Chain A
């Protein structure tokens, strides 16, 4: 079971990963975007960590919603509304559950992805964060439905998200700023898919270990 402490640790771990990969994300963005993705994610998640630190007595759902609001109001770019919507919808799906079983973890990611799809209107193959999120969620669902333990399911999800991220390299961007490049977007890994892979990777790092 995933407790509130584990959810908070997930946000902290995510902030740490974005901090460590700030340059890398910005470099990926410089190639096909506008060179600010690393900076923006680091700024937003630093604020999210501060916010979460003041919410000890609140529910998992409220914490996730608050993270979403902080991201919307501090990240900017397309990533702010998209990651913000992910966490707000995830928080709404979790509501006042005090601990999350594997099925609740699936519904968290599923609600988040639905929100991202509605807000961003991207579909798989457009070379966006959806290309990591969609396979990650599918793998998570398949593993959980097959009765595998959460650690195993999150590992499969992280691996699938990573594969999805790498699979954006040969794609031609159809949404977002990279789409302006047309053919020239081919050959570059999508920065949004990369930051989304970390979403799954950090969940595996933290939740996988804590539930094993």
Chain B
């Protein structure tokens, strides 16, 4: 294993200290239990928004804490969900009296830990609503699985809900918006290489030089199919076909599209993929109203990408365009 780290067991904490050192104008960092809040938290009378998950997906979630997005993020160990004490402490720290929304990616660990924290916060008299994001079309949604995973749409949901909370929407409205985004968003990912969890010390899976993993999640967990590598255009087309027919997205739809790097993919390659995404959307009469191309929800140093598409209306577009000021996403202020 070759990584830019000191001690394996200090990676998460030292990264947090780095965030604190770099962005103290936007966020405050707490330790033991670890969580990050926006600098002016709690904001009185505003719905607080808390998310969290395993570390290793940066900038998700710590990079999205700030005005117009998350009030708090709870980072777990690498690829391990945060624990209830962290989530509870973050929930208390951002409770401005208008209730708190938990945005939870659909992984068994995340769901169980957020559920325990929400029960404890409710017992404290804090009104908590949880919305689970499950946008990954690579996973069959049936009674026989843990359900679809939460991936790229989480980023878009955090932005849109953050904007709604900032303008003063109440908890029910913000939670309903989160559900609306989840219901209208779909994602899929693929990997060219594995990633190495620092504590494990070796790649999570073996993959040949001529192979790719389609339908990968964000934890280096194996995907749906192992296929021979092909061109960016063919890979993009394959993923787009699955995503578009799942909702389905139809002629005349307006969308926000994110082409996201898994951590080890050059921007150049992401733009090659985005070019094909734009072509396919144009050919199918789907408008890309807004886009994000870059590394927003990563899987350590994995090479690969994911595509997320959200069907939007004027209302969602306006919330997307609203000012945001976080370490990783900033416009309007």
Chain A positions near chain B (C-beta within 8 angstroms): 26, 30, 32-36, 39-40, 43, 72-82, 119-120, 172-177, 179-182, 184
Determine whether the beta carbon of A73 is less than 8 Å from that of B146. no
Determine whether the beta carbon of B113 is less than 8 Å from that of A180. no
Determine whether the beta carbon of A35 is less than 8 Å from that of B200. yes
Determine whether the beta carbon of B146 is less than 8 Å from that of A175. yes
Partner of B221, one of A26, A33, A73, A82: A33
Determine whether the beta carbon of A177 is less than 8 Å from that of B116. no
Minimum C-beta distance from A183 to chain B (A): 10
Task: State whether A73 and B85 are in contact (beta carbons under 8 Å apart), knowing that A33-B221, A177-B107, A177-B146 are contacts in the complex.
Answer: yes
Determine whether the beta carbon of B81 is less than 8 Å from that of A77. yes
Chain B positions near chain A (C-beta within 8 angstroms): 33, 54, 76-85, 107-109, 112-113, 115-116, 138-140, 144-146, 149, 197, 199-200, 204-205, 217, 219-222, 224
Instruction: Name A's interface SS.
Output: helix
Q: How far is the CA of A80 from the CA of B109 in the complex (A)?
A: 8
Contacts of A181 in B (CB 8 A): 221-222
Determine whether the beta carbon of B146 is less than 8 Å from that of A179. yes
| Interface-centre pick from B83, B107, B138 (highest chain A CB count, 10 A) | B83
Q: How far is the CA of A188 from the CA of B224 in the complex (A)?
A: 16
Determine whether the beta carbon of A174 is less than 8 Å from that of B112. no
| Interface-centre pick from B54, B76, B200 (highest chain A CB count, 10 A) | B200
Contacts of A33 in B (CB 8 A): 221
Q: How far is the CA of A131 from the CA of B127 in the complex (A)?
A: 36
Determine whether the beta carbon of B197 is less than 8 Å from that of A81. no
Determine whether the beta carbon of A180 is less than 8 Å from that of B83. no
Determine whether the beta carbon of A73 is less than 8 Å from that of B108. no
Determine whether the beta carbon of A35 is less than 8 Å from that of B113. no
Nearest opposing residue in chain A for B116, CB measure: A81
- Top 10 nearest A-B pairs (CB, nearest first) are A76-B80, A77-B109, A81-B112, A179-B145, A34-B219, A78-B109, A78-B108, A73-B85, A39-B199, A35-B200
**Other A-B pairs beyond A76-B109, A81-B112, 14, CB < 8 Å:** A34-B197, A35-B79, A35-B204, A36-B79, A36-B80, A40-B77, A76-B54, A77-B76, A77-B80, A174-B144, A175-B108, A177-B219, A180-B138, A180-B149
Q: How far is the CA of A134 from the CA of B115 in the complex (A)?
A: 24
Partner of A80, one of B33, B83, B222: B83
Nearest opposing residue in chain B for A69, CB measure: B85
Determine whether the beta carbon of B204 is less than 8 Å from that of A76. no
Instruction: Name B's interface SS.
Output: loop
Contacts of B219 in A (CB 8 A): 34, 177
Partner of A30, one of B82, B107, B200: B200
Contacts of B200 in A (CB 8 A): 26, 30, 35-36, 39
Contacts of A179 in B (CB 8 A): 144-146
| Interface-centre pick from B33, B144, B149, B224 (highest chain A CB count, 10 A) | B144
Contacts of A34 in B (CB 8 A): 79, 197, 204, 219-221
List 29 A-B pairs, Cβ < 8 Å: A26-B199, A30-B205, A34-B79, A34-B221, A35-B79, A36-B77, A36-B79, A36-B80, A36-B199, A39-B200, A40-B77, A72-B116, A73-B33, A76-B76, A77-B80, A78-B107, A78-B109, A80-B112, A81-B84, A81-B109, A81-B115, A81-B116, A119-B112, A120-B112, A175-B146, A177-B107, A180-B146, A182-B145, A182-B224
Determine whether the beta carbon of A180 is less than 8 Å from that of B221. yes
Q: How far is the CA of A181 from the CA of B115 in the complex (A)?
A: 25
Q: How far is the CA of A39 from the CA of B199 in the complex (A)?
A: 7
Partner of B140, one of A32, A40, A182: A182
Q: How far is the CA of A82 from the CA of B83 in the complex (A)?
A: 12
| Interface-centre pick from A30, A74, A75, A173 (highest chain B CB count, 10 A) | A30
Q: How far is the CA of A15 from the CA of B205 in the complex (A)?
A: 27
Contacts of A174 in B (CB 8 A): 144-145
Determine whether the beta carbon of A76 is less than 8 Å from that of B81. yes
Nearest opposing residue in chain A for B79, CB measure: A34
Determine whether the beta carbon of B85 is less than 8 Å from that of A35. no
Task: State whether A40 and B84 are in contact (beta carbons under 8 Å apart), knowing that A34-B221, A35-B200, A181-B222 are contacts in the complex.
Answer: no
Nearest opposing residue in chain B for A71, CB measure: B83
Minimum C-beta distance from A133 to chain B (A): 16
Nearest opposing residue in chain B for A174, CB measure: B144
